[in-house]
Amino acid sequence: EEQYDFASLQEKWQPRWEQLRPFATEDPSDERPRKYVLDMFPYPSGDLHMGHAEAYAYGDVLARYWRHRGYNVLHPIGWDSFGLPAENAAIKNGIDPKAWTYSNIEQHKRSMHRYATAFDWERILHTSDPGYYKWNQWLFLELYKRGLAYRKDSPVNWCPKDQTVLANEQVVAGQCERCGTEVVKKKLTQWYFKITDYADRLLDDLDLLKGKWPDKVLRMQANWIGRSRGADVDFTIEGSDRTVPVFTTRPDTLFGVTFMAVAPDSDLAAELAAGSDAESRIRFQDYLTSTQKLTDIERQATDRTKTGVPLGRFAVNPITGDRVPIWAADYVLADYGHGAVMGVPGHDQRDLDFALQFGLEVKAVVQPVDEDPIDPAASGEAYVGDGAAVNSGVLDGLSGAEAVSAAIQLLEDRGTGRAATTYRLRDWLISRQRYWGTPIPILHREDGTMEPVPAEQLPVVLPEAEGLNLTPKGQSPLAAATSWVETTASDGTPALRDADTMDTFVDSSWYYLRFLSSKDDTQAFDPEEVRKWAPIDVYVGGVEHAILHLLYSRFITKVLYDLGYVDFEEPFTALLNQGMVILDGAKMSKSKGNLVTLSEELDQHGVDAVRLTMCFAGPPEDDIDWHDVSPAGSGKFLARAWRLSGEVTSPVGADPTAGDRALRSVTHRLRADLPYLVESYKFNVVVARLMELTNAIRKTVDNGPGAADPAVREAVEQLASTVSLFAPYTAEDMWERLGHEASVANVTWGEADEALLVDDTVTAVVQVTGKVRARLEVDADITADELEQLALADSAVQRSIGEREVVKTIVRAPKLVNIVVK
């Protein structure tokens, strides 16, 4: 028996592929239809791990599959190479972030070559190259010119450990996503992208992705955008000519308002307190200090005892004329709606908790129909269910949406309110006070005005790290790079460069376009190439990017669409989220000591066996428990397949049509099912079918027509090219042993032969005077005469006829024979 040796196959093919470059896509005369398959680009920390191995195995199946289907496939790779970890590692170990980053990238590249990923290596990009971030700066200025990039003073999420600002998306359960430190609020001047202008489109266009993105991701995006429809109601403030709007989703409960509550950290609270008596002012100041220590999450926790202080001021309900006290309460957030609520304790649990805590009035203004009247003050439970309005003047008797629109109508008629929509989505905070990122291309003049860096001066190149103190201090380390920061404005007056760098999510929001013309130094991307390739047909990556990265990319794509740069509004037509690789049911981590190291698995089992194992483990969305899978078993299967390729004796090009029908039908069934199976990501089923095909071939060779049968060649060739989706080294070698030239990646699959897909036998039913007496397996193309003969010769049929006389035989070939006897 021939020895299958994965190590020598790897040694043999890797250098040959480097020369053959089977996945280069630069040929402009290539007229094949196109597919763009993209794997989320990696962050270059450490070496590749099991998670990368899984994702790239799946991405490769899709890229190679479309090539076999006759498409010109773009499958590029690059590195998301700016960002905090490089800087933190640099601070800890005293190495230059650039040196750290690029040496990690080199390690990644070596590992990816070994892993035989089907990438087009001609298009690589690193976001930390000036040739890339120049266009990041261009993008920033495109937004800036249109008012979509702006600066404002605002309370931001601040990580005291990393000493940096975090986007809302980077705060997880009140903690810094990266280091786990409790995030606090701090007021700073920061740059924002106006993603809120796109909230409706980002939400509504999720419909275009239904069925092609995981439902879970669509839901997460919708929740993140968080659109609430309702009304703004203008309350007048007693002793002032001011009206204050509050946002409510329940204008139908206007008659149940018994207080107003404002966020203590809002400008409104400060203004109201300033106009109050001394005692209220002092009480308010103390309260404000105590709430500033809390995170938004803590403030909104439902199980927390409600806190607040009366401001000594009153508001007047514009519909009822009721005079209600105004409180500062920290369950009201400053940056949602208008930072103020109308308190309806009868029908909102937070308001009820608050009212009961401070002895405020509770009014029930919605009663369930045909049930006992509710009493929230007594039960402690606000009534949030359906019902009819009561004690609500003209609204009485109305319910649900009807009551809501009648209330809005009332407000609009009186000019004291209007229909309104509020979003949870906030503008995207994109400035960072860190070194290793894209410098913001803005100059600050002495008179306090700003000026964009002129296009011809881009890129604003990041100064060398040497000599800069990167230790976080709340101000960008770049501010200390005096010779870099100090420059002149276009009118020759002194100016300072903006010292902040951009959030790396800006870099990754459009990189998929840069791949299309990654070496072009005259434009961010070539519109001609964009028309050819984009949008992406399938995007492969982790579900951890369900909100941040995908939402930002969708937003930037819509901006580019509005500016006329691209002609599509959604960047990722389909999304495949792979599960995690775990061990014994737990996420792998160094600290838990349950880390499976990719390079060790590859050394032990070989690249192909590891890749095949990833694909065979189950649906790609599910987690893979590395304890439950068998790379050794995968290796055994590959050896069996590989051996077959050495046994075929018919010549290349042998006509298979005269070959063994049973084997041909297994081959063609696989070919027919591959589109459905691969395109619905049932990679594990494909592997199972390859095992079935291998068994069928072995049977034909050993116990059937033998290795010379041309059906065997046909089957082994299909096996080799399909195995190449999962195990490229083995497949390439099989292809060579079959007498072909490299590369197996270039094989285009033919169509399945329909005639081989239909079953070649059918079951014929034989009846004797209406009663079924026998079932016969017959050829599908049997003639009526032949079938009649077979039926009459069957022993069960003969027994049933016995001594009786056959008067008539009705034959419907190939399925039915009815014998009439007397």
Q: Which stretch binds ligand ANZ (CB under 6 A): 329-337, 482-490, 727-735, 783-791?
A: 329-337
- Residue 411 Cβ, how far from ligand ANZ at the closest point, in Å? 13
Residues 395-424 contacting ligand ANZ, CB under 6 A: 422
CB of 366 to ligand ANZ, least distance (A): 8
Least distance from C-beta 260 to ligand ANZ, angstroms? 10
Question: Measured from the CB atom, is 389 or 614 closer to ligand ANZ?
Answer: 389
CB of 307 to ligand ANZ, least distance (A): 14
Residue with Cβ nearer ligand ANZ (382 or 588): 382
By beta-carbon proximity to ligand ANZ, the closer residue of 403 and 612 is: 403
Least Å distance, CB 413 to ligand ANZ, is: 20
Report 197-236 residues binding ligand ANZ (CB under 6 A): 228
Least distance from ligand ANZ to the Cβ atom of residue 376, Å: 10
Longest dimension (CA), the chain: 121
Give the separation between CA 461 and CA 438, rounded to whole angstroms.
Answer: 8
Which region, judged by CB under 6 A, interacts with ligand ANZ, from 54-62, 330-338, 409-417, 707-715? 330-338
The Cα 265–Cα 185 span in angstroms is 11
Enumerate residues 550-609 that contact ligand ANZ by CB under 6 A.
Answer: none
* Chain-centre distance for alpha carbon 541: 7
State how far the Cα of 637 lies from the Cα of 169, in Å rounded to an integer.
Answer: 45
Tell the smallest beta-carbon distance from residue 367 to ligand ANZ (Å).
Answer: 13
Q: Which is nearer to ligand ANZ, 376 or 437 (CB)?
A: 376
Contact between 226 and 273 (Cβ < 8 Å): no
475: phi then psi, degrees, rounded to nearest 5: -130, 145
Coil, strand, or helix at residue 634?
helix
Tokens of 61: 């199946």
Nearest to 137 by CA among 440, 436, 429, 432: 440
Nearer to ligand ANZ, 4 or 255 (CB): 255
Q: Segment 345-364, which members bind ligand ANZ (CB under 6 A)? A: 347-348
**219 neighbors 310 (Cβ within 8 angstroms):** no
Q: Output the smallest distance, CB 424 to ligand ANZ, in A.
A: 7
Cis ω on the peptide bond leading into residue 130 (within 30° of 0)? no
Q: How far is the CB of 357 from ligand ANZ (least distance, A)?
A: 16
- Establish if 247 lies at the interface with ligand ANZ (CB under 6 A): yes
Indicate whether 342 belongs to the interface with ligand ANZ (CB under 6 A): yes
DSSP string for 447-488:
TS-EEEPPGGG---PPPPSTT---S--SS-GGGG-HHHHEEE
Q: How many residues does the chain have?
A: 822
Q: Which residues contact 444 (CB under 8 A, 6 or more apart)?
A: 450, 495, 496, 497, 498
Among 344, 530, 607, 817, binds ligand ANZ (CB under 6 A): 344
Give yes or no for residue 313 binding ligand ANZ (CB under 6 A): no
- To ligand ANZ, the closest distance from the beta carbon of 744 in angstroms equals 56
Q: Which is nearer to ligand ANZ, 97 or 417 (CB)?
A: 417
| Binding piece for ligand ANZ, criterion CB under 6 A, among 5-13, 243-251, 502-510, 693-701 | 243-251
Looking at the Cβ atoms of 101 and 422, the one nearer to ligand ANZ is: 422
CA distance linking residue 544 with residue 68, whole number of Å: 31
Q: Which is nearer to ligand ANZ, 348 or 570 (CB)?
A: 348
Residues contacting residue 73 through CB under 8 Å, at least 6 positions apart: 23, 25, 34, 35, 36, 37, 63, 64, 66, 67
Residue from 125, 159, 260, 341 binding ligand ANZ (CB under 6 A)? 341
For ligand ANZ, give the closer residue by CB, 126 or 250: 250
For ligand ANZ, how many residues bind (rule: CB under 6 A)?
A: 18
The residue from 339, 459, 571, 631 that contacts ligand ANZ (CB under 6 A) is 339
| Selection from 341, 333, 335, 339 nearest residue 154 by Cα | 335
By C-beta, is 339 or 541 nearer to ligand ANZ? 339
CA distance 112 to 23: 14
Q: How far is the CB of 341 from ligand ANZ (least distance, A)?
A: 4
The phi and psi torsions of 465 (rounded to 5 degrees) equal -75, -25
Binding status of residue 336 toward ligand ANZ by CB under 6 A: yes
Least Cα distance to 540 among 578, 579, 573, 505 occurs for 578
- Rounded Cα distance between 777 and 780, Å, is 9
* Nearest-5° Cα angle at 747, 742 to 749: 160
Residue closer to ligand ANZ (CB basis): 79 or 336: 336
Residue 332, interface with ligand ANZ (CB under 6 A)?
Answer: yes
Name which of 312 and 417 has its Cβ closer to ligand ANZ: 417
Applying CB under 6 A, among 108, 250, 313, 737 the residue interacting with ligand ANZ is 250
Upper half-sphere CA count for residue 570 (Cβ side, 13 Å): 19
The 10 Å CB-count burial string (b at 16+, else e) for 465-490 is: beebebebeeebbbbbbeebbeeebe
Instruction: Please choose, out of 245-253, 274-282, 610-618, 715-723, the segment that lies near ligand ANZ by the rule CB under 6 A.
Output: 245-253
- Does residue 295 belong to the site contacting ligand ANZ (CB under 6 A)? no
CA distances from 566 to 452, 528, 557 (A): 24, 10, 8
Question: Residue 347 or residue 434: which is nearer to ligand ANZ going by CB?
Answer: 347
Q: What angle do CA 17, 19, 21 make, to 5 degrees?
A: 60
Q: Which residue has the tokens 């005259």?
A: 522
Instruction: Kindly provide the b/e burial profile for residues 742-753, where b requires at least 16 CB atoms within 10 angstroms of the residue's own CB.
Output: bbbbebebeebe
Give CA separation, 264 vs 292, 305, 311, 316, 326, in Å: 9, 16, 10, 20, 11
- Shortest reach from residue 342's CB to ligand ANZ, in Å: 5
Stretch that binds ligand ANZ, among 341-349, 541-549, 589-597, 611-619 (CB under 6 A): 341-349
What's phi and psi for 66, nearest 5 deg? -65, -30
Contact call for residue 253 and ligand ANZ (CB under 6 A): yes
C-beta of 348 vs 608, nearer to ligand ANZ = 348
CB of 248 to ligand ANZ, least distance (A): 3
Tell which one of 248, 367, 416, 501 touches ligand ANZ (CB under 6 A). Answer: 248
Stretch of 234-242, 337-345, 690-698, 739-747 contacting ligand ANZ, by CB under 6 A: 337-345
What is the per-residue binding string for ligand ANZ in 255-294, x denoting contact by CB under 6 A? --------x-------------------------------
- For residue 250, the minimal CB distance to ligand ANZ (Å) is 4
Q: How far is the CB of 552 from ligand ANZ (least distance, A)?
A: 23
Using CB under 6 A as the binding rule, the residues of this chain from 517 to 546 that contact ligand ANZ are none
Tell whether 216 is in a known binding site: no
Using the minimum distance from each CB to ligand ANZ, give the nearer residue, 218 or 342. Answer: 342
Q: Which residue has the tokens 């007594």?
A: 378
3 state SS of 160? coil
Q: Does 307 engage in binding with ligand ANZ (CB under 6 A)?
A: no
Q: Are 115 and 71 in contact (CB under 8 A)?
A: no
Q: Site for ligand ANZ (CB under 6 A): which residue of 20, 95, 333, 792?
A: 333
Interaction of residue 769 with ligand ANZ, rule CB under 6 A: no
> What burial class does residue 590 get, using C-beta atoms within 10 Å of its C-beta: 0-12 exposed, 13-18 middle, 19+ buried?
exposed
DSSP-assigned letter for residue 511: H
Binding residues: 590
Q: What residue ranges bind ligand ANZ (CB under 6 A)?
A: 228, 247-250, 253, 263, 332-333, 336-337, 339, 341-342, 344, 347-348, 422
Binding residues for ATP: 590
